[in-house]
Chain A
Amino acid sequence: MKIVVCIKQVPATTEVSIDPETKRLVREGVEIMMNPFDTYALEEGLLLREAHGGEVIAISMGPKRTEATLREALACGADRAILLNDRVLGGSDTFATSYALSRAIAKIGNVDLVITGKQAVDGDTAQVGPGIAAHLGWPQAAYVSRVIESDSKHLVLERMHETGYDVCSLELPGVITVLKDINSPRVPTLKGRLASRKASINIWNASAISADLTKIGLNGSPTRVVATRSPDARDKHTIILDGSPEESARELVKILKQRIKL
């Protein structure tokens, strides 16, 4: 089975700032990590490879420092890693991002399954997985909580929704997005880490994936962030009560009564 896992490198914190010009997140100088949902995606890919043989290819779109996260994927056992890196890819919204990733998947060729995490914890949109499926013209199954059965032609999956779950059959090639706790992501072994340091990561730019320039980057993104601000009615000054339980309770009741008067 040829499996592509889409991984995103995200800030490891919610303390963020916005670049006043591009209105996009400032990513420099912020600690980074593999998007938590993607660690489950990677593990699921590795489990399927263990069951069926084949190859797990980790891909990611981002600046050069994304390589570190791809090396994590290699250290866990991915066979190859590809970084989509090009200045013109910067500032992409979910349409442009899913388009670029779909071009990379097309270039890899003969892919049976694409696995992504449900959503990235910085953007929180959950749009790229289904977007990749739509760009490829492949069927999708989102919110997958369990792979029940698998063979080279199809997967039987459990998907969650708010009021329950369903069981569905996905004919490959297809795209799935996975929830946390679908599996237990393995920790890289020492051997894996050493190997990953030496491994070479393919770097593909926009022309390598034959990207339509009108569909990538800031200019190819149908949506644009035009303004950012601090939350409205939310007073950023948190009132901290750290006295005794009796004191805190008294203060709280006082605050609530004032608030009710307003």
Chain B
Amino acid sequence: MGINFGDARSFKMAVVADYYVNPQSYPKLPEVNSVYEQLSEAGYGIIKMPHPTMVGKGTEGWITSTVDQIQEYSNRGFKLFVLGVEGIAGKGIWIEALKIEIKKRGLPMPESIVLKKTQLSEPEEALKAILKRASS
């Protein structure tokens, strides 16, 4: 199906909360987590949502463009999952708004995982299962 891309891409991606790339911006959550490293090492592309308090009036633009990507990649057979974090409004990914936009377009919701605060210091186990499932 589709075209021959003929390059190094993995066809795998995660839509993630800003926290996972920039944990230093979140004093109430663990200062370090290995999610970025794990995704990066597993060859996942990252579609990162912005920092929740830095978006202002622009939320709708980020939601629309993120769902545009989910729709386009899914239509072309790329694998994609959504990764939020407990303890931030909207799980750091505006999860309700994403769901509404996805439903409005009649698309299936990608697999979505929200890591709990207790999983953040050692997310390896939770992520291992997810990464395995998402790439199968």
Asked if A and B bind, the verdict is no
B residues whose Cβ falls under 8 Å from a Cβ of A: none
A residues whose Cβ falls under 8 Å from a Cβ of B: none
